[in-house]
Chains A and B, each alone.
Chain A
């Protein structure tokens, strides 16, 4: 079994009377890419901030590669690249100076810095701005620089909170492409409210709401679990209202809707029920060309889990 890169044990955080996190337990193995999904105020950024030693939990522990992220922060954060919230930079320094400063703090050799800085600035397409003071940068350019600084010391773990925030669509696509490339060799823990970003870049997803972990599994598994009670039927001819209504009378069917020749049937039951539904369709003279479980998108999973969590 792979060693755990990031572990949250009963993480709880109160901001005054407001509970931001409630006993969050999470284990992320080395090399995994995990997306932390949740609505606003779910506790995503709070989780990230605790791992990055920006805030302290009210109770519970966070570990990075076995080191306590709060009590042994220097050791824990040595091999981590982070972006937390909207990353701001010192306006009087240039990207080269900023990266030199951070690189030195992270233990990089002075002689290794020029090549590393050139590499990361090239990767985020900021080479031409290397010696311009950051105070003149747009929000998107700062976000690119934020990504560059996470990669500077080539850390094995990346903790990214909304990494594509503030970027234009092209920039967002580039960031996703960088993360997809990085996840092959690194542990990626990414918080985002963008479902497509998580589904495209992460293998696993942790859904949280109101500080509680609602689901944590592989993206495909979650999609298939939540899709198992929905059937997608393709029919030869579009159904009329009466035919659609008659489907609802089949035992086990909860809901039926149609879009052209595609019919979606929500049901409660097992494979036996599915067989009965198919027979019921035949009995009603509906000519079926295909009949299969509908795969739900991560968005559907997210909406259902968050709704049920409430």
Chain B
């Protein structure tokens, strides 16, 4: 049994290598890199123009401006979904499973190999904006903020969680389209609706991945935003309603991401192992 396990471990880097080769050969990876770079460059230019007018062009403010305003976490989302949406589903949709499944290798090994390669490719996409931010901020302010590393680490973790979530849909759906569209629907519509409703009701949406993503930009804020902020707002005349906003702290944010990463990966493996090419 141990010999079999070692055999599978040896096959893992082989799967990662060739799955990564497939990613590198696709135009979408370069498209994502280009879009991420252009958007980050644009956010940096806007920051350089607007921040001096409010007297705050320092490294921390500019980094926050670009990461928050440039929606760097958004690239984590699109990178995660675009590189992994078809990872499993396409084996069934395009029938390449007939080539890869009848090999002396556990399906779990194949899936973990695919997962790692998708994470590497998606991480590459989010690395580019951070490289641009680091160089740009240093060039414009002559300073560098250590939180940029933390923000990058959170963004990579967030991206890998997105890959896990997408893998669940990819192992569930036959078509790559459904596997790619559903994570977007969840992150853009379903989760925000749930989060908004829960916050209005004064309940923390701690179970949502989109909620955890705010630590990527909030890490630049000193002091770190309080966990709970309640603001009374007028809803007509003297009638006031208390609206509560929640901000996850670093530990909570990281925990949510890790949960999505682990549970999503395990669930996708279980689903894909049961799936048959009828």
A residues apposed to B, CB below 8 Å: 15, 49, 52-56, 73-78, 80, 82, 84-90, 92-93, 97, 100-102, 104-107, 133, 146, 149, 159
Pick the interface stretch among B40-48, B89-97, B205-213: B89-97
Min distance, Cβ A286 to any Cβ of chain B, angstroms:
58
Complex Cα distance, B102 from A146, in Å, reads 13
Residues of A within 8 A of B15 (CB): 105
Q: Mark B22-48, 1 if CB is under 8 A from A, else 0.
A: 100110000000000000000000000
The total of chain B residues at the interface (CB under 8 A) is 26
Closest residue on chain B to residue A80 by CB atoms: B102
Complex Cα distance, B101 from A171, in Å, reads 26
**B96: contacting residue among A56, A74, A88, CB under 8 A:** A88
- Which 10 interchain pairs have the tightest Cβ spacing? A92-B25, A52-B102, A78-B104, A55-B276, A101-B18, A88-B95, A82-B102, A84-B98, A74-B104, A104-B14
Closest residue on chain A to residue B96 by CB atoms: A88
Total contacts A to B, CB within 8 angstroms? 82
**B21: contacting residue among A55, A87, A97, A149, CB under 8 A:** A97
**A74: contacting residue among B14, B18, B105, CB under 8 A:** B105
Q: Tell me whether B278 is interfacial, beta carbon within 8 Å.
A: yes
Q: Tell me whether B49 is interfacial, beta carbon within 8 Å.
A: no
Residues of B within 8 A of A77 (CB): 102-104
B residues apposed to A, CB below 8 Å: 4, 7-8, 11, 14-15, 18, 21-22, 25-26, 94-99, 101-106, 276-278
Closest residue on chain B to residue A54 by CB atoms: B277
Complex Cα distance, B11 from A125, in Å, reads 30
Closest residue on chain A to residue B93 by CB atoms: A88
Residues of B within 8 A of A90 (CB): 22, 96
A102 with B22: CB separation less than 8 A: no
Complex Cα distance, B18 from A97, in Å, reads 8
Residues of B within 8 A of A84 (CB): 98, 102
Complex Cα distance, B25 from A249, in Å, reads 76
Residues of B within 8 A of A53 (CB): 101-102
B18 with A75: CB separation less than 8 A: no
A93 with B97: CB separation less than 8 A: no
Residues of B within 8 A of A49 (CB): 277
Residues of B within 8 A of A146 (CB): 99
B102 with A74: CB separation less than 8 A: no
Closest residue on chain A to residue B105 by CB atoms: A105
**A92: contacting residue among B26, B97, B101, CB under 8 A:** B26
B8 with A74: CB separation less than 8 A: yes
Residues of B within 8 A of A97 (CB): 18, 21
Residues of B within 8 A of A56 (CB): 276
Given contacts A55-B276, A89-B96, contact A74 B7 (CB under 8 A): yes
A88 with B98: CB separation less than 8 A: yes
Min distance, Cβ B190 to any Cβ of chain A, angstroms:
31
